Chains A and B, each alone.
Chain A
Amino acid sequence: MPAVLLFYRLIVRPLRKEMLRTVLTALAVALGVAVVIAIELAGDAAAGSFRASVETLAGDSDFEVTATAGGVPPETLAALASLPYALRLRPRMEDYAVLGERTIPLIAVDLLADALPGHTGDSSSASVFQSDDSIWAGDGLGLHVGDRVRLLINDRTAEFSVRGVLGARSGEVIVMDLAPASRVLGRTGNLDRILIQTPAGKSLDEWEPLLRAGLPAGVTLARQGSRTNENRRMLAAFRWNLRVLSYIALVVGAFLIYNTISVSVVRRRAEIGILRALGATRASVLGAFLGEAACFGLLGAGVGLALGRLMAESAVKLIAVTVDSLYVSSRPGSIHLGWDIVLLGLFLGTGVAVLSALLPAWEASTVVPVEAMARGRREHEVRMHRWRNLAIATALGLAAWIASQQGPVDGKPIFGYAAAVMLVGSSALLIPALVAGLSSVSAGLIRRVLGVEALLAARGLVGSLRRTSVLVGALSTAIAMMAAVGIMVGSFRETVLVWMDDRLQADLYLRPAGPTGPDKHPTMSAEVADRIAALPQVAAVDRFRAYEISYGGMPAILGGGDTAIAGRYGRRPFLSGADPRVVFPKLGSGDTVIVSEAFANKHQVRAGDVLKLPLGGREGRFRVVDIYYDYSSERGYIIMDRKTLLRYLPDPAPSNIAVYLKPGTGMDEGKRVVEEATAGRRVLVFSNRTLRAEAIKIFDRTFAITYALEGVAVFVAVMGVAGALLALVIDRRRELGLLRFLGISGPRLRRMILFEAGLLGLLANVAGLVLGVLLSLLLIYVINEQSFGWTIQFHWPVAVLLGAISLVYAATVAAGLYPAWVAVRLNPIEVIHEE
């Protein structure tokens, strides 16, 4: 108990006296923890609780039979039924229907054989099931028995009657019987999936070979839920990178905790000396300062958890946009703050705070009572260590370069991240030299141009070099991450713009109305394309058909297009540098494909490799002719000629149509005649320009979350500057009082503090920009390439960088306003006679 009482008197009570600084420091931890918690919660909600929507109503099935693309032939069902086991088989078709603004999974099952779970409504007769307008609605749709609804399916709309509502928690789903569904969906009779429930008695491992033996070639047997797992695997890299970004604010917070505890130690040096002289052990001094840090950590973590829960609401929306745009259609689940997350928050808050405080707390424990009175020595020591720090910084920089040359570990750019951490460490160690160097080099200039206040400000910063360095370190780390992500996203954006210039050569593009996604490829009637091709204003029509497939345990897209047209009009760039007019003709003959860069990197595919794809009931072998740059989907594409695709999957309905107008045909006229040709179909026609604008809009929305994370990190750093400047003012109050005695006026004193804030901001911007450029190289050429497999061309987003840096600079100077106000209000008589 005496220890607790002493801790309260010596540590907690001073914290209460400086409430504003305590609150600012705790808030820095709180924001750091909040961001991590928000991303963790939102990630779980957006992807963690994600189930592939086509797996809705899978029930308690054990296995599923699918085909790579084009569906499972009905004979497969017969083959499985003929096996001598009491298997429960559930054939299904899966697609999407658009109800109002919502895209809803449409599942067709055998309603005669398969009772719907807990539904209400009419299911008494086969005629009800087999009517083309009968649907059963999930409880999440808010529909009632007897409602009439208009659904958009592919490029057609039709009226349906709600015959029943499924039981609780069935969510947003529409169910039909197989027979009417195949008519409505325009299917040839193939199924999308056969779910298998095995009888008890054997393990699933035992069942697997038995079932596999009974299946024809061209179909795949997998454990039920494998699609969800595939999607989760695909999202792992995205979540991993997001998680790493979310820790930046916490790292910045760690700098500030280090600073706060350092300030605490420097201020209480004399006190520590007295305590040591009175019999306090080194361990108790160490424990006291670590305890102080733990107080900040616990307080911050508590607030951070609550804040994180709130922030998760917004974060989940931003993450869902990215998941939907780049990965897979999903609907975020609910946000659940469980005990595991609470413990994570507490552990992170206190852990980071205690770790950050280790060094200053250890220094406190080594204080020799006699030395404790000598002010100035601490700063002097930092100057003495500058060369040692420079040597360590160089070694860290070298180690970072070596780490950046290493490959991924288990698909994760572990060494890339290690290199980034080492670069941040290296930069932090270089900062004392930078601060002192720049200040001494510019002293004369500062004095001449900006006056004595600026000189005093510069000297004040160098005089508190240790503290200044930590502050500049914190702010520059935040600025560096902001600049790095800004450069990376800006480079990516520019790369995509250049790529679109090459890729999008057609004048008009068509797709079915309703939302699309990387895993949704609704089709249009083949006759639409034929009608457009027959128009006198049209030079060529490229019909592209996409299928969502699974390759190597990961989702991918199989596509077929008219490669002759693509070769004639397109400028699709290939990794090999080959001319598209040479590559595309190779696709016209034989089983050959081109694959996207993302696909090639994900599956380690090179030109000349052969891909085995079970298609249309047989296994095709496709030679990879070349690899092309593509930024439209992280899943990756396998592209073959349309004729080749039709040989395996004879469904002529295209997913997208590209229209090339004849020279002399105006865009407005072309669009009008094409729209007339699609009359009666729910098809959207985009001009080339509109499509590009739409794509860039999606791109910008996708990266909104990264900017939000950077914003929080910078906010934490600027807040830290405010707190630390306040501490500097309080610590130097005697000096400031003396300046008043020597004749400095209040406004000039205010200007001096603002100069200090400005110099801090300037130094942090310089250091942050240099570090940011290095980190951006790591992000672009190591972390991005190893995580996502995209080649990004380096580009300087000058306007964005200048804007962001100016904003941070202004915020830093503004952060000096309150400390400056405090400095001006100090009573010089009181502070000068304090001793």
Chain B
Amino acid sequence: MSILSLEHVSKSYMTDGAPVPALHDISLDVGRGEFVALVGRSGCGKSTLLNLAGAMDFPTSGTLTLDGVITSSLNDAELTRIRCIKVGFIFQSFQLLHTLSVVENVELPLMLAGKTEVRQSALERLRWVEMESYAARMPYQLSGGQMQRVAIARALVNSPALLLADEPTGNLDTVTGDVILELLRRVADEQRTSILMATHSVEAAAMADSVVYMRDGAVATS
């Protein structure tokens, strides 16, 4: 059974009163523990697709099912809850909170989910990404690669079924980027977490189980 399923999904935005299509008739399945890469140029619709997959937005038409739940049938509170427990996000620019320490950043999703004993889980995740010794540091004291490791730890701390990664190596040099991609590969293999990764790098896509090519808001080749 797939963790994420898109059936004829389209998405348009209204600009100056006229609809501007961002995604057109996308059908896609991501199985449990599967690592899928979305490849395409900037503006082809990769990020829009990730936002829909992460229950951050609704499709204009079509059906999106996340772990058996059709997202368009949910209200804002239910969407927030499903994001909290089923989805983890990784961004190109890491998006760590600069006011929180490394371990506090990782604890954050657990706390937002209402859990109280969070330190141990956070430290475990940091150990898994080999960042435990940096737990007390502030984000601005880390390198880009270290920040992205922390972001991965934070994304995994709730043990989500789906990890959405938007250009996770876009701000990193090649060597560091490869380390992060290997880490994502481990996530899929060892944690059995499904990954949907947007990238414009064919080399990065090579780490995935399957690659979806996108062009002008539609799937070009699968």
Q: Which residue numbers of A lie inside 8 Å of B, CB to CB?
A: 374-377, 380, 447, 452, 455-456, 459-460, 462-464, 734-735, 738-746, 748, 828-829, 832-833, 835
Question: What is the chain A residue whose CB lies nearest that of B116?
Answer: A448
Contact A829 B51 (CB under 8 A): yes
Contact A743 B98 (CB under 8 A): no
Contact B112 A452 (CB under 8 A): yes
B85 partner residues in chain A, CB cutoff 8 A: 743
Give me the 10 closest cross-chain CB pairs, A-B, nearest first: A463-B99, A743-B84, A452-B111, A376-B140, A459-B99, A745-B80, A743-B112, A738-B95, A743-B83, A741-B89
Contact B95 A832 (CB under 8 A): yes
Interchain CA distance A191-B2 in the complex, whole Å: 112
Contact A742 B98 (CB under 8 A): no
Question: What is the chain B residue whose CB lies nearest that of A448?
Answer: B116
Interchain CA distance A741-B100 in the complex, whole Å: 17
* Contact of A734 (CB < 8 Å), options: B51, B95, B104: B95
* Contact of B99 (CB < 8 Å), options: A452, A462, A828: A462
> Is chain B's binding surface mostly helix, strand, loop or mixed?
helix
Interchain CA distance A464-B83 in the complex, whole Å: 28
> Is chain A's binding surface mostly helix, strand, loop or mixed?
helix
Contact B108 A452 (CB under 8 A): yes
B136 partner residues in chain A, CB cutoff 8 A: none
Can you sample 20 A-B contacts with CB below 8 Å?
A374-B140, A375-B98, A452-B111, A455-B111, A459-B97, A464-B99, A738-B95, A740-B80, A741-B54, A741-B83, A741-B89, A742-B83, A742-B109, A743-B81, A743-B83, A743-B109, A829-B56, A829-B57, A832-B91, A832-B95
Contact status of A833 and B47, CB under 8 A, knowing A734-B95, A738-B97: yes
Contact A828 B80 (CB under 8 A): no
Contact B76 A745 (CB under 8 A): yes
Interchain CA distance A833-B109 in the complex, whole Å: 20
Interchain CA distance A782-B73 in the complex, whole Å: 70
Residues 105-122 of chain B, each 1 if its beta carbon lies under 8 Å from chain A, else 0: 000110111000000000
Residue in A462, A463, A741, A743 whose Cβ sees the most chain B Cβ within 10 Å: A743
- Shortest C-beta distance, B102 to chain A (Å), equals 13
Residue in B91, B93, B98 whose Cβ sees the most chain A Cβ within 10 Å: B98
B77 on interface, CB distance cutoff 8 Å: yes
Contact status of A376 and B98, CB under 8 A, knowing A743-B112, A744-B112: yes
Residues of B43-98 at the interface with A, using a CB-CB cut-off of 8 Å, are 47, 51, 54, 56-57, 76-77, 80-81, 83-85, 89, 91, 93, 95, 97-98
Contact A742 B112 (CB under 8 A): yes
Interchain CA distance A464-B97 in the complex, whole Å: 12
Residue in B89, B95, B99, B112 whose Cβ sees the most chain A Cβ within 10 Å: B99
* Contact of B76 (CB < 8 Å), options: A463, A746, A829: A746
B98 partner residues in chain A, CB cutoff 8 A: 375-376, 463, 735
Contact A742 B77 (CB under 8 A): no
- Shortest C-beta distance, A184 to chain B (Å), equals 81
Question: What is the chain B residue whose CB lies nearest that of A379?
Answer: B98
Question: What is the chain B residue whose CB lies nearest that of A744?
Answer: B112
- Shortest C-beta distance, B135 to chain A (Å), equals 16
Interchain CA distance A741-B89 in the complex, whole Å: 7
Contact B89 A742 (CB under 8 A): yes
B89 partner residues in chain A, CB cutoff 8 A: 741-742
Question: What is the chain A residue whose CB lies nearest that of B139?
Answer: A376
Contact B56 A460 (CB under 8 A): no
Interchain CA distance A464-B98 in the complex, whole Å: 10
A832 partner residues in chain B, CB cutoff 8 A: 91, 95
Interchain CA distance A376-B142 in the complex, whole Å: 12
Question: What is the chain A residue whose CB lies nearest that of B76?
Answer: A746
Interface size on B, residues (CB 8 A): 30
Question: What is the chain A residue whose CB lies nearest that of B107?
Answer: A452
B139 partner residues in chain A, CB cutoff 8 A: 376
Known: A459-B104, A740-B80, A743-B85. 12 other contacts (CB 8 A): A452-B112, A456-B97, A459-B97, A463-B98, A734-B95, A738-B91, A739-B108, A740-B56, A741-B95, A743-B113, A828-B56, A835-B93
Interchain CA distance A735-B85 in the complex, whole Å: 20
Interchain CA distance A452-B107 in the complex, whole Å: 10
B54 partner residues in chain A, CB cutoff 8 A: 741
B97 partner residues in chain A, CB cutoff 8 A: 456, 459, 735, 738
- Shortest C-beta distance, A492 to chain B (Å), equals 45
Question: What is the chain B residue whose CB lies nearest that of A447?
Answer: B111
Question: What is the chain A residue whose CB lies nearest that of B115?
Answer: A452
Question: What is the chain A residue whose CB lies nearest that of B113?
Answer: A743
Interchain CA distance A257-B140 in the complex, whole Å: 29
A376 partner residues in chain B, CB cutoff 8 A: 98, 138-140
- Shortest C-beta distance, A201 to chain B (Å), equals 84
Interchain CA distance A724-B100 in the complex, whole Å: 21
- Shortest C-beta distance, B117 to chain A (Å), equals 12
Interchain CA distance A380-B138 in the complex, whole Å: 11
- Shortest C-beta distance, B8 to chain A (Å), equals 22
Interchain CA distance A413-B54 in the complex, whole Å: 67
B81 partner residues in chain A, CB cutoff 8 A: 743
- Shortest C-beta distance, A331 to chain B (Å), equals 60
- Shortest C-beta distance, B122 to chain A (Å), equals 13
Contact status of A380 and B99, CB under 8 A, knowing A745-B77, A835-B93: no
- Shortest C-beta distance, B148 to chain A (Å), equals 14
A377 partner residues in chain B, CB cutoff 8 A: 140
Question: What is the chain B residue whose CB lies nearest that of A742?
Answer: B109
Interchain CA distance A739-B104 in the complex, whole Å: 13
- Shortest C-beta distance, A372 to chain B (Å), equals 15
Interchain CA distance A744-B83 in the complex, whole Å: 9
Question: What is the chain B residue whose CB lies nearest that of A747?
Answer: B77
Interchain CA distance A746-B80 in the complex, whole Å: 9
B76 partner residues in chain A, CB cutoff 8 A: 745-746
B91 partner residues in chain A, CB cutoff 8 A: 738, 832
Interchain CA distance A734-B93 in the complex, whole Å: 11
Interchain CA distance A374-B139 in the complex, whole Å: 12
Contact status of A742 and B108, CB under 8 A, knowing A462-B99, A463-B98, A463-B99: yes
A456 partner residues in chain B, CB cutoff 8 A: 97, 99-100
- Shortest C-beta distance, B74 to chain A (Å), equals 13
Interchain CA distance A456-B113 in the complex, whole Å: 14
Interchain CA distance A235-B85 in the complex, whole Å: 72
A739 partner residues in chain B, CB cutoff 8 A: 108, 112
A463 partner residues in chain B, CB cutoff 8 A: 98-99
A748 partner residues in chain B, CB cutoff 8 A: 112
Interchain CA distance A462-B80 in the complex, whole Å: 27
Contact B77 A459 (CB under 8 A): no
- Shortest C-beta distance, B24 to chain A (Å), equals 19
A829 partner residues in chain B, CB cutoff 8 A: 51, 56-57
* Contact of B80 (CB < 8 Å), options: A374, A375, A464, A743: A743
- Shortest C-beta distance, B42 to chain A (Å), equals 11
- Shortest C-beta distance, B53 to chain A (Å), equals 12
- Shortest C-beta distance, B200 to chain A (Å), equals 15
Interchain CA distance A741-B108 in the complex, whole Å: 12
B83 partner residues in chain A, CB cutoff 8 A: 741-743
B109 partner residues in chain A, CB cutoff 8 A: 742-743
Question: What is the chain A residue whose CB lies nearest that of B77?
Answer: A745
A745 partner residues in chain B, CB cutoff 8 A: 76-77, 80
Interchain CA distance A618-B19 in the complex, whole Å: 102
B108 partner residues in chain A, CB cutoff 8 A: 452, 739, 742
B84 partner residues in chain A, CB cutoff 8 A: 742-743
B80 partner residues in chain A, CB cutoff 8 A: 740, 743-746
- Shortest C-beta distance, B143 to chain A (Å), equals 14
Question: What is the chain A residue whose CB lies nearest that of B84?
Answer: A743
Question: What is the chain A residue whose CB lies nearest that of B108?
Answer: A742
- Shortest C-beta distance, B94 to chain A (Å), equals 10
A835 partner residues in chain B, CB cutoff 8 A: 93
- Shortest C-beta distance, A557 to chain B (Å), equals 64
Question: What is the chain A residue whose CB lies nearest that of B86?
Answer: A743
A744 partner residues in chain B, CB cutoff 8 A: 80, 112
Interchain CA distance A40-B158 in the complex, whole Å: 64
Interchain CA distance A375-B54 in the complex, whole Å: 28
Interchain CA distance A74-B93 in the complex, whole Å: 98
Interchain CA distance A740-B55 in the complex, whole Å: 11
